[in-house]
């Protein structure tokens, strides 16, 4: 088991996801899942070291996409990233775990979750200009060891400019690409979650 130095992360029980409606891939029926997953009665913090090897729980992971004038931000995952199983893959998503530092007055509700989203993005990217965001989908992939213990919430950020730079060594070769590029020659180089997102880009 990898040592995560006691990091605590937000999780839900796998059985809750199954009750709401288990699926493989991407699901745009956000309201069906989001409000229940972020009900403080249904989630809790768990030791990450234990959670990474425990498919009876799903770690909630915000997965943010960034769009500007028909193109989507993507990058290569560097070796300094926390998830070794994803190194060298390209990704459309920025995000990470929700931690106790994100806790707000609603305890483990939407405010806490959104605080975690903002923290992760500020840690990983420098964005010049304003932006808006909305939640567009939920992601699940039980076909591999990474996916079995994670559940993604897809956010779409609409950027005022394309002036975005990396704030971490784990995020390399940042660029904006068209839907056609992402669904074409680049598709096989994308991590699984990003492939799921690329599949629906024309619909959002």
Token digits for 37? Answer: 């997953």
What would the pLDDT profile of 42-89 be if each residue is shown by its tens digit?
A: 999 999 999 999 999 999 999 999 999 999 999 998 765 455 555 578
Let me know if residue 1 belongs to a domain: no
What does DSSP assign to residue 190?
B
Q: What is the mean pLDDT of the chain?
A: 93
User: Domain range spanning residue 138?
Assistant: 8-203
Report the CATH number that the domain containing residue 110 is assigned in CATH: 3.90.79.10
pLDDT for 77 equals: 87
> Is 29 part of any domain?
yes
Residue 79: the pLDDT is 65
Give the pLDDT of residue 81: 47
Q: Is residue 2 part of a domain?
A: no
The closest of 5, 17, 2, 11 to 108, measured between CA atoms, is 11
Q: Is the pLDDT of residue 189 over 90?
A: yes
What confidence category does residue 1 fall into, taking pLDDT thresholds of 50, 70 and 90? low
Query: Is there a domain that residue 170 lies in?
Result: yes
DSSP output for 92-116: S-B-----GGG-BTTBSSHHHHHHH
Q: Span 122-140, mean pLDDT?
A: 96
pLDDT value of residue 2: 79
pLDDT of residue 85: 52
- Over the stretch 151-174, which tens digit does the pLDDT of each residue have? 999 999 999 999 999 999 989 999
**If we measure between CA atoms, which residue out of 172, 177, 183 comes closest to residue 162?**
177
12 within a domain of the structure (yes/no): yes
Question: Looking at the domain assignment, is residue 76 inside a domain?
Answer: yes
- pLDDT exceeding 70 applies to what percent of the chain? 95
Query: Does the residue 33 lie in any domain?
Result: yes
DSSP type of residue 6 = T
Average the pLDDT over 93-121 and give the result.
Answer: 94
175 vs 9, 12, 72, 73, 172, CA distance in Å?
Answer: 30, 34, 8, 6, 9
Q: Which pLDDT belongs to residue 78?
A: 79
How many structural domains compose the chain?
Answer: 1
160: in domain: yes
CA-nearest of 40, 62, 59, 41 to 50 is 59
């Amino acid at each position: 088991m990898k040592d995560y130095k006691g990091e605590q992360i937000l999780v839900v029980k796998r059985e809750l996801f199954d009750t709401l409606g288990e699926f493989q891939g991407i699901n745009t029926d956000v309201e069906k899942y989001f409000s229940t997953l972020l009900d403080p009665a249904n989630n809790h913090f768990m030791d990450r070291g234990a959670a990474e090897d425990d498919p009876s729980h799903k770690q909630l992971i915000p997965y943010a996409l960034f769009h500007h004038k028909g193109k989507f931000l993507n990058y290569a995952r560097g070796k300094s990233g926390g998830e070794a199983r994803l190194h060298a893959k390209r990704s459309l998503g920025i995000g990470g775990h929700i931690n106790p530092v994100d806790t707000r007055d609603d305890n483990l509700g939407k405010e806490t979750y959104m605080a975690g989203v903002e923290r992760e993005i500020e840690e990983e990217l420098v964005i010049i200009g304003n932006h808006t965001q909305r939640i567009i989908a939920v992601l699940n992939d039980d076909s591999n060891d990474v996916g079995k213990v994670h559940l993604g919430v897809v956010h779409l950020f609409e950027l005022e400019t394309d002036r975005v730079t990396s704030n971490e060594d784990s995020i390399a070769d940042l660029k904006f690409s068209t839907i056609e590029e992402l669904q074409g020659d680049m598709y096989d180089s994308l991590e699984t979650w990003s492939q799921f997102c690329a599949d629906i880009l024309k619909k959002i």
